[in-house]
Amino acid sequence: MRVLLVHPSALMYSEIFLRLEPLGLERIATAALADGHDVRLIDLQVYGRADFEREVAGFRPEAVGFSLNYLANVPEVVNLAKWVKTVLPGCTVFAGGHSVSFVAEEVLDHAGGAIDAVLKGEGETGAPALLAAIPDKAMAEVPGAVTADGPGRPPVMLHSLDDHLPARHLGGRRRKYFIGVMDPAASVEFTRGCPWDCSFCSAWTFYGRSYRRLSPQAAVEDLTRVAEPGVFIVDDVAFIKAEEGHEIARELERRRIRKEYYLETRCDVLLRNEEVFRRWRRLGLTYMFLGLEALDEEGLRQFRKRTTPKVNNKALEVARDMGLMVAINIIADPDWDEARFAFVREWAMSVPEIVNITVQTPYPGTETWLTESRKLTTLDYRLFDVQHAVLPTRLPLHRFYEELVKTQAVLARKHLGVAALAETTGIVARQLLRGQTNFVKMIWKFNKVYNADRQHSEHQRDAEYLLSPPQEAAAVPAAPRDRQDLYVHAPARRRG
Ligand code: B12
Ligand code: SF4
């Protein structure tokens, strides 16, 4: 069967920092190729709408699968699906990915028949099963599939992550993928899932609070297929288990593979497993993202981060001592006033790290979606991008954005600091020599993207599709004791 896999376009506010390859779709492509399908992949982060239309017209796919990891991409994907059905009425259209797994019925509804099925959960198992079911019109029977007939059987977890290493050759325009100064950058996955349960996050509810890994052999095999010198490790929390990180490191040392790495981890994990991070530093680990989220005890408790300001500060010291370039995330509560923004700005200026500010956003699939007692002020999917306030702000909304943008400017200064540093160390010059301009362009785009008037005016746009509001908060216990309603993949003890 001719199958076209499609990743939607990048979100404007993220694109200035990074643009990464669609790893999930590349893995699904491998699974579909193994079943003998003729598979193509188009990533609209790096190709335009005209390219997509040309691909559909030329390839005439019998099935089109959209990736919907991000809620803000829902309207775009629904409209693309409707367009596909008008030009190829016989084509089966399906969608899968992180966010759509939590709003499957709503998305089918918005599409009004243009999306035949939403596949919840991991796609490496679901997509091949769905493709196999198309000729018999048995899609509703596929585990994880939600169709016009309603939800069917629960999704099945992949037996081994070693199977279906990403089909990177299908993408094209790989030089467009970058993260900060790491330009170009490929992505790899060593582990999947997260055993913590932060209240604002859906990584744990998607994977049923499980945590799995690729074998060190498969992880290294995948790395050897990566041509780029820079690698972003997509794991939610890198090197949770020190021994696993050591095993991969050992193999890389043996095979003398050295690249530049960017990873994300928790402060407590960095402290607990300092040695493994030091070893990876020697192998090329250069950039680290630490999700601090809050600066005070109370904030950390509210987010159920299960860590303390003391641990966080200590971790920053350790990372500095290792000579890593660290980026930190802080979550801005819409309740912040001028004084709180000023405090955060002051703090951000006092630390050498790059500080990133995102706005607290209750997403479907998170606990805060159910427990957040403040009423959502908008149901426009496009505003659920952690750069807009979707909860009531204490300050007038425009004022809130002014403060946010002013704070983002601190961030910009940090970035410009990094740029200046990069320039002095010759990184930018070397990138330009190699024709890599993503990072340089990003520096200039910054002021254009972060703009209070624009962010404010985006709330006034007409919304074609609206998110269904969460159930009345009162109907939901404050801290759901039985969290099974949140899970996409059921936790191990419930599975089966
Ligand atoms: C790596 C990552 C990123 C990378 C993006 C990589 C990329 N090109 O997509 C970067 C760093 C760029 C990123 C940025 C952001 N991210 Co992010 N990210 C992740 C993370 C940690 C892992 C995703 C990943 O690559 N996994 C590995 C691959 C192999 O899996 P996958 O892509 O999920 O695909 C699997 C399934 O989803 C499914 N699937 C995917 N597509 C399809 C398609 C079909 C047809 C089917 C059937 C199945 C299917 O099958 C795949 C294989 O099993 C997740 C958390 C998580 N654990 O999922 C958050 C997560 C997805 N991100 C999140 C957020 C909020 C963001 C940002 C908005 C945050 C920010 N601070 O700016 C930005 C927006 C990015 C954008 N699109 O512009 C939220 C999503 C919230 C939401 N509901 O929308 C998540 C869930 C984290 C969280 N805190 O809850 N992110
Ligand atoms: S925020 Fe990080 S540590 Fe917390 S549940 Fe999500 S992935 Fe895990």
Three-class secondary structure of residue 261 per DSSP = strand
Q: Do residues 294 and 435 share a domain? A: yes
Residue 474's pLDDT band (boundaries 50, 70, 90)? Answer: very low
> 198, 239, 303: which to mutate for ligand 2, most atoms within 8 A of CB?
198
Q: Do residues 247 and 338 share a domain? A: yes
Q: Please tell me the distance from the alpha carbon of residue 238 to that of residue 274, in angstroms, as a whole number.
A: 12
Tell me, in angstroms, the distance from the centre of ligand 2 to residue 162's CA: 23
Q: Do residues 142 and 280 share a domain? A: no
Cβ-count burial of 302 within 10 angstroms (0-12 exposed, 13-18 middle, 19+ buried)? middle
Q: Do residues 197 and 121 share a domain? A: no
More confident residue, 372 or 110: 110
How confident is the model over 130-176, as pLDDT tens digits?
Answer: 999 999 999 999 999 999 999 989 999 999 999 999 999 999 999 99
How confident is the model over 373-382, as pLDDT tens digits?
Answer: 788 999 999 9
Q: Do residues 63 and 104 share a domain? A: yes
pLDDT given for residue 135 in this prediction = 97
Cβ atoms within 10 Å, residue 8:
24
CATH number at residue 32: 3.40.50.280
How confident is the model over 163-195, as pLDDT tens digits?
Answer: 999 999 999 999 999 998 899 999 999 999 999
Does the structure show a pLDDT above 70 at 475?
no
Tell me, in angstroms, the distance from the centre of ligand 1 to residue 85's CA: 26
Does the structure show a pLDDT above 80 at 472?
no
Q: Please tell me the distance from the alpha carbon of residue 14 to that of residue 81, in angstroms, as a whole number.
A: 24
Q: Please tell me the distance from the alpha carbon of residue 360 to that of residue 380, in angstroms, as a whole number.
A: 16
Q: Do residues 182 and 142 share a domain? A: no
Give the residue from 83, 84, 44, 78 showing the smallest Cα distance to 61. Answer: 84
Q: What is the atom index within ligand 2 of the atom nearest the CA of 293? A: 1
What's the average model confidence in pLDDT over 352-357? 87
More confident residue, 110 or 449: 110
Closest listed ligand to the CA of 125: 1
Torsion of CA 202, 205, 207, 211, to 10 degrees: 90
Q: Do residues 256 and 145 share a domain? A: no
Q: Do residues 395 and 310 share a domain? A: yes
| 483 domain-assigned | no
Helix/strand/coil percentages in the chain, nearest 5 = 45, 15, 40
**Which residue has the CA at smallest separation from atom 6 of ligand 2?**
201
> 194, 267, 312, 366: which to mutate for ligand 2, most atoms within 8 A of CB?
194
pLDDT given for residue 449 in this prediction = 79
Q: Do residues 272 and 306 share a domain? A: yes
Tell me, in angstroms, the distance from the centre of ligand 1 to residue 361's CA: 15
Q: Which residues does 420 contact at the CB level (< 8 Å), separation at least 6?
A: none
Residue 198's pLDDT band (boundaries 50, 70, 90)? Answer: very high
Q: Which amino acid belongs to residue 37?
A: H
Q: Please tell me the distance from the alpha carbon of residue 244 to that of residue 215, in angstroms, as a whole number.
A: 9
Tell whether pTM > 0.75.
yes
Instruction: Please say whether the beta carbons of 59 and 4 come within 8 A.
Output: yes
Tell me, in angstroms, the distance from the centre of ligand 1 to residue 69's CA: 5
**Which residue has the CA at smallest separation from atom 10 of ligand 1?**
20
pLDDT given for residue 495 in this prediction = 46
pLDDT given for residue 300 in this prediction = 93
**Which residue has the CA at smallest separation from atom 31 of ligand 1?**
24
| 478 domain-assigned | no
| 113 domain-assigned | yes
Does the structure show a pLDDT above 90 at 61?
yes
Q: HSE, CB side, 13 Å, CA atoms: give it for residue 64.
A: 30
Tell me, in angstroms, the distance from the centre of ligand 2 to residue 169's CA: 31
pLDDT given for residue 470 in this prediction = 83
pLDDT given for residue 444 in this prediction = 67
Stretch among 67-76, 108-117, 174-183, 281-290 having the lowest mean pLDDT? 174-183
Tell me, in angstroms, the distance from the centre of ligand 1 to residue 207's CA: 12
| 111 domain-assigned | yes
The tokens of 421 are what? 């540093």
Q: Please tell me the distance from the alpha carbon of residue 165 to that of residue 152, in angstroms, as a whole number.
A: 28
C-alpha torsion sign, points 65, 67, 71, 73? negative
What's the average model confidence in pLDDT over 335-351? 93
Q: What is the atom index within ligand 2 of the atom nearest the CA of 304? A: 4
The tokens of 416 are what? 């410009």
Closest listed ligand to the CA of 195: 2
**Range(s) of the domain holding residue 16:** 2-151
Q: Please tell me the distance from the alpha carbon of residue 428 to that of residue 432, in angstroms, as a whole number.
A: 6
Tell me, in angstroms, the distance from the centre of ligand 1 to residue 70's CA: 7
Q: Please tell me the distance from the alpha carbon of residue 172 to that of residue 21, in angstroms, as a whole number.
A: 10
Q: Please tell me the distance from the alpha carbon of residue 218 to that of residue 163, in angstroms, as a whole number.
A: 9
Percent of the chain whose pLDDT exceeds 90: 77
Q: Please tell me the distance from the alpha carbon of residue 385 to that of residue 383, in angstroms, as a whole number.
A: 6
Three-class secondary structure of residue 253 per DSSP = helix
Q: Which amino acid belongs to residue 233?
A: I
- Helix or strand run (H / E) with residue 242: helix 242-254
Q: Please tell me the distance from the alpha carbon of residue 81 to that of residue 63, in angstroms, as a whole number.
A: 11
**How far apart, in Å, do the first and last CA atoms of the chain sit?**
31
Q: Which residues does 460 contact at the CB level (< 8 Å), separation at least 6?
A: none
Tell me, in angstroms, the distance from the centre of ligand 2 to residue 47's CA: 31
pLDDT given for residue 486 in this prediction = 87
CATH number at residue 296: 3.20.20.70
Give the residue from 381, 395, 377 showing the smallest Cα distance to 341. Answer: 395
Stretch among 102-106, 299-303, 387-391, 409-413 having the lowest mean pLDDT? 409-413
Q: Which amino acid belongs to residue 38?
A: D
Domain count, the chain: 2
Residue 318's pLDDT band (boundaries 50, 70, 90)? Answer: very high
**Which residue has the CA at smallest separation from atom 2 of ligand 2?**
236
Q: Do residues 298 and 380 share a domain? A: yes
| 161 domain-assigned | no
Closest listed ligand to the CA of 307: 2
Q: Please tell me the distance from the alpha carbon of residue 212 to that of residue 160, in angstroms, as a whole number.
A: 9
| CA 172 to mean position of chain CA atoms | 20
Instruction: Please say whether the beta carbons of 10 and 76 come within 8 A.
Output: no
Q: Do residues 103 and 229 share a domain? A: no
Q: Do residues 104 and 252 share a domain? A: no
Cβ atoms within 10 Å, residue 303:
20
Three-class secondary structure of residue 377 per DSSP = coil
The tokens of 448 are what? 């254009």
- Mean pLDDT (the chain) is 91
What's the average model confidence in pLDDT over 68-81? 98
Tell me, in angstroms, the distance from the centre of ligand 1 to residue 98's CA: 6
Tell me, in angstroms, the distance from the centre of ligand 2 to residue 10's CA: 22
How confident is the model over 356-391, as pLDDT tens digits?
Answer: 889 999 999 999 998 887 889 999 999 999 999 999
Ligand 2-lining residues (CB < 6 angstroms): 194, 196-198, 201, 203-204, 236-237, 266, 291
> 18, 70, 94, 98: which to mutate for ligand 1, most atoms within 8 A of CB?
98
| 238 domain-assigned | yes
How confident is the model over 411-423, as pLDDT tens digits?
Answer: 766 666 655 556 5
Q: What is the atom index within ligand 1 of the atom nearest the CA of 66? A: 45
Residue 496's pLDDT band (boundaries 50, 70, 90)? Answer: very low
pLDDT given for residue 160 in this prediction = 96
Q: HSE, CB side, 13 Å, CA atoms: give it for residue 125.
A: 16
Give the residue from 189, 304, 281 showing the smallest Cα distance to 236. Answer: 189
What HEC string does 301-361 produce? Answer: HHCCCCCCHHHHHHHHHHHHHHCCEEEEEEEECCCCCHHHHHHHHHHHHHCCCEEEEEECC
How confident is the model over 251-263, as pLDDT tens digits?
Answer: 999 999 999 999 9
Ligand 1-lining residues (CB < 6 angstroms): 10-11, 14, 18, 20-25, 27-28, 65-67, 69-71, 94-99, 119, 122-124, 126-127, 189, 201-203, 206, 234, 236, 358, 363, 385-386
| 484 domain-assigned | no
| 163 domain-assigned | no
Percent of the chain whose pLDDT exceeds 70: 91
Instruction: Please say whether the beta carbons of 125 and 89 come within 8 A.
Output: no
